[in-house]
Amino acid sequence: MTAFVRNQWYVAAYAHEVGRELLGRTVLGEPILLYRTEDGRAVGLADRCVHRRFPLSEHPSRLEGDKVVCGYHGFTYGTDGVCVRVPGQTRVPRTARLATYPVVEQDSFVWVWIGDREPGDTLPPRAPWLDSPHYTTVCGMEPIEGDYGLLVDNLLDLSHETYLHGGYIGTPEVAETPITTEVDDKSAIVRVSRHMDDAECPPFYANSTGIQGRITRWQDIEYHAPALYLLHSRVAPVGTPAPRPDGSDPDAFHVEVVYGITPSTEKSTYDFWAVARDFALDDQEVTEYLRSSNHTVVMQDVVALNALQRALDTEKPGYQELSINIDTGGLAARRILARLAAENSPQAAAR
């Protein structure tokens, strides 16, 4: 199992999922209740009533103004987690208090901080395209019945597109083109790039951009361990000028593929996926096409990773993996995750 990394921000939900309904999500094994106050602020509290541990996100628990009323016997809590009312007595036990979780809304995500210390000035990594007026975004979330490390491996090695996602985003060139890998240990970022100069245009891009013929296709991955994965994808007809020195690149199509990778339990993961594009911004047909194609691609990964987890569960202890060049990025990510997990373990905090 891939160790959890504490003292980090994780995507718990999309901003649009958090409202005046009680929402329960389990992040790094911690059950969290999310809702929005009447004035629109997102709140994160422990999702277990202190009385008999009833999940506060479960029916018939409810909001009363900004307070949460437990659906079992009526313990009532404020946004600070403090219990303000218990049934049948006026005295509220002093210890009746829910843990609170720091919450930040950024780039259309609701991030929660999981850790033993406060986040201080630390903010979640950015994915500014997701709520930028210059991009149109489709997104969703799929649960995976697997260790989050399987999703990290999967996303850092895109050569699998050729095999698992043929007919959508995979073409022969993806698996055939070598990658370059760069590791920034201090910032815990792994970068993996694959630039294809002359490649087949897969249906995902042909149908959305209208390009006919061959393309230059750049995949530049930036994995901000542990929780955020960005794939900067650049697609342009062969012969299109390269990006200008100032970074502008008016003749190419850009897609920013974003994943929030959120470990839920040891063997389950929330896969928050989003695809933001800088072309055909108002074209509803392109939007629906990218939504359904990308959902299909995500489900191909989910089905494969669920099968992989089931297979690993039946392996004898000490089984051997075999790694090759395409695994360089994934192996670098595993090393960073192991280091971050050790540095932020409860044992390290106690030292």
Residues lying near Fe ion in the complex (CB under 5 A) are found at 301
What tokens does 173 get? 């060139």
The answer to whether the Cα torsion of 302, 5, 321, 267 is positive or negative is negative
Residue 316 CB, nearest distance to Fe ion (Å)?
28
- CA 69 from centroid of its chain's CA atoms: 30
How many residues touch ligand FES under the rule CB under 6 A: the total is 9
Residue 93 CB, nearest distance to ligand FES (Å)?
12
Of 76 and 309, nearer to Fe ion (C-beta) is: 309
What gap in Å lies between CA 71 and CA 55, rounded to an integer?
9
Using an 8 Å Cβ cutoff, are 103 and 42 in contact? yes
Of 31 and 74, nearer to ligand FES (C-beta) is: 74
Of 51 and 191, nearer to ligand FES (C-beta) is: 51
Taking residue 132's Cβ as centre, other Cβ atoms within 10 Å add up to 15
Of 105 and 301, nearer to Fe ion (C-beta) is: 301
Considering only residues 36-75, where is the footprint of ligand FES by CB under 6 A? Answer: 49, 51-52, 54, 70, 72-75
DSSP helix/strand/coil, 91 = coil
Nearest CA to 42 out of 22, 62, 27, 59 is that of 22
Q: Residue 301: name its binding partner from Fe ion, ligand FES, none (Cβ under 5 to 8 Å by kind).
A: Fe ion
Residue 231 CB, nearest distance to ligand FES (Å)?
43
Of 105 and 153, nearer to Fe ion (C-beta) is: 153
Q: Residue 54: name its binding partner from Fe ion, ligand FES, none (Cβ under 5 to 8 Å by kind).
A: ligand FES
Residue 117 touching ligand FES (CB under 6 A): no
Using an 8 Å Cβ cutoff, are 127 and 286 in contact? no
Q: Kindly list the distances between the CA atom of residue 271 and the CA atoms of 11, 58, 157, 238, 258, in Å, as whole numbers in the listed order.
A: 10, 23, 16, 33, 10
Q: Which residues bind ligand FES (CB under 6 A)?
A: 49, 51-52, 54, 70, 72-75
